[in-house]
Amino acid sequence: MKIALKNYRARMQRVLTHIDEHLDDDLDLETVSRIAAFSKFHFQRQFMATFGLSMHRYIQLSRMKRASHGLACRDGQSVTDIAMDAGYEAPDAFARAFRQRLGQSPSSFRKSPDWATWLVAFGPIDNARNKFMHIIFDHDDVTIRDVPATPVAIMQHRGDRAGLAETFKRFRAWSKANGLSPETSSTFMVFRSEREPAIAADYSMDLCISTDRPIEANHERMKAGEIPGGRCAVLRYPGNTNNLEPAAFYLYRDWLPASGEEARDFPIYCQRRLSFIPEASAYEVITDLFLPLK
């Protein structure tokens, strides 16, 4: 049974690889299903059940992501050419789709990309690609660092995780209005409760962005605070994710008891950074998880 499951997953992974490498080709149902050696009459549902989005949507998002790379990194290529490469027959249709997905026009994105929104917009692609990736951490993945104290602006989220999207939206809007961005300022999430507490309303997290400016009274209830300095166990998560709980469990369950270290009186937190990846011609996310130590 395990062999059959492994073979099935390999065939589905082969499909994603083929799509990623042939975005300029006609990726119709019959062609793609043949790559996986599955019946075209069932493949649409198989793809959706496996990856959480339709094949058409995966292809559409992949082409749009590549187009965003072109806008941000290739000034010599016109918006019209980028739209054609993305499969759109007219620039205005491309512009509408781009704005709907990223909240910016193509020309606005080219001048000043909102990378935080970009990461969220193309999250479904990362989720699909990571569907079969079971990350196993070991002791060598953890480093101990002396981190400096960092002054931050804090927006608290208290209550059901269902409201997180709105909190993130307000946090990004406040940061942008105050000239702060993930490209120039460090962003943190401080986890003050488990990811899924027994009572949903007990969920608690702080969104933070580094700044040493005074935080004036405002309707978003931002306040000044600090990520404290000191020794931390640091575990880097390989890729973008909305669920760091497996990494946190590794630190608490495996690394901490074996290390002889003791946790300090400050919650576990993460830092998400945007890093320029030349070969990808875009920005990607790097996530470090910090466990404060005595």
Question: How many domains are there within the chain?
Answer: 2
Of 129, 158, 182, which closes a domain?
129
Is 128 in contact with 57 (CB distance < 8 Å)?
no
Is 134 within a domain?
no
Of 107, 129, 151, which closes a domain?
129
| Same-domain check for residues 236 and 165 | yes
| Same-domain check for residues 208 and 125 | no
| Same-domain check for residues 148 and 288 | yes
Of 78, 103, 129, which closes a domain?
129
| Same-domain check for residues 156 and 260 | yes
| Same-domain check for residues 152 and 284 | yes
Is 64 within a domain?
yes
15, with CB counted inside 10 A (0-12, 13-18, 19+), is buried
| Same-domain check for residues 87 and 170 | no
| Same-domain check for residues 165 and 246 | yes
pLDDT at site 281: 42
Q: Which domain holds residue 149?
A: 139-292
| Same-domain check for residues 56 and 175 | no
Is 240 within a domain?
yes
CA 190, 196, 197, 203 dihedral sign is positive
| Same-domain check for residues 225 and 103 | no
pLDDT at site 278: 45
The enclosing domain of 172 has a CATH number of 3.20.80.10
| Same-domain check for residues 235 and 264 | yes
| Same-domain check for residues 184 and 204 | yes
Only one residue has tokens 């002889």, namely 260
Is 55 within a domain?
yes
pLDDT tens for the chain, residues 1 to 294: 567 877 888 898 889 989 988 999 999 999 999 999 999 899 999 999 988 899 999 999 999 999 998 888 777 789 999 999 888 988 899 999 999 999 999 999 988 888 778 878 888 887 787 776 556 788 999 999 999 999 999 999 999 988 887 888 889 889 988 988 877 889 999 999 998 889 989 999 999 999 998 887 776 789 999 999 999 999 998 665 667 888 899 999 999 999 999 999 999 999 987 655 444 444 566 789 999 999
| Same-domain check for residues 114 and 233 | no
Structural tokens at position 8: 């099935």
Only one residue has tokens 């495996």, namely 254
Q: Cα 226–229–231 angle (5° rounding)? A: 145
Distance CA 22, CA 16 (A): 10
pLDDT at site 127: 79
